[in-house]
Amino acid sequence: MKNILGIIGYPIGHTLSPLIHNTAIKHIGLDYIYLPFEVKKENIALAIGGLKGLGIKGINVTIPHKESVIPYLETLDDNAKFIGAVNTIKLEDDKIKGYNTDGLGFLKSLKIDAKEDVKGKNIIILGAGGSARAIAIQMALEKANSVIIANRTVERGKKLAEYIKLKVHDPSTGWVPRKLKVKAIALNDSLLVEYFREADIIINATSIGMKDNNNPLFPYNYISNKHLVCDIVYRPIETNLLKEALLRGARILNGLGMLIYQGSLSFKIWTGHEMPVEIVRKTLMKELKS
């Protein structure tokens, strides 16, 4: 019998995770299979409780369950504790442990795909939801100079900024981001353009961009050729934001790398094997182009 991995979410039909993991499993030759499980919100306790009984080795967790699974887990890794959300669960020695690989996945894409180092950089993050939270916390831990959280609802951004100031630290060294400038601002604030002038990296951590008719979050003339503009959206590969950034001479980074690298970190947690990232990337590109 194959070892079972999977993903839970609702709806789940759009997910590329089975293609990612089953491609890696086949390439390495592991005795695993990765399956999608559509789980409604009211059934999350039953789903997590059933993992042990079904002998499932691990699962990914996607919208809308990343926070609601936490009460049903027995332990969390440091990233999941900081972020307050889980995207990976592993069952080992009859224990259910939660992880969050989103921020680390984005960081890995930033370093490998964009050849960019975060330390000392000024960063603007668009959005204050789950992905923005994971990325903002990771940027703080990587010793960015400043993290500006620009959100439609400024209060939500302020809560995230305060959380980073008060709670985030590196448990291995005790480092805390005392000197880090963390601030929240409304997307329609006239001062936003000033932060763009200081910024090195712009990150769209919202779903805006998945549809061509989405209104822009900010005036595109804020972008200049000094910026690296990142979009966590991977479908389409080149969003309107990235197209406009290219027109203005900026470097760009799409969301495909984050998708792959957060998956590769989950894969290593479950199987102990490194994911064949370039094989997976080629397979995904073929799927997205079709």
Looking at the annotation, which residues are catalytic? Answer: 66
Cα separations in angstroms, 235 against 91, 242, 255: 31, 12, 8
Cα 265 from Cα 88, distance rounded (Å): 9
* Residue 283, CA distances (Å) to 21, 135, 234, 264 in order: 11, 26, 14, 14
9's CB contacts (< 8 A; 6+ apart) are 15, 36, 38, 39, 61, 62, 63, 64, 65
Q: Is 206 exposed, middle or buried (0-12, 13-18, 19+ CB in 10 A)?
A: buried
Any idea what DSSP says for residue 235?
S
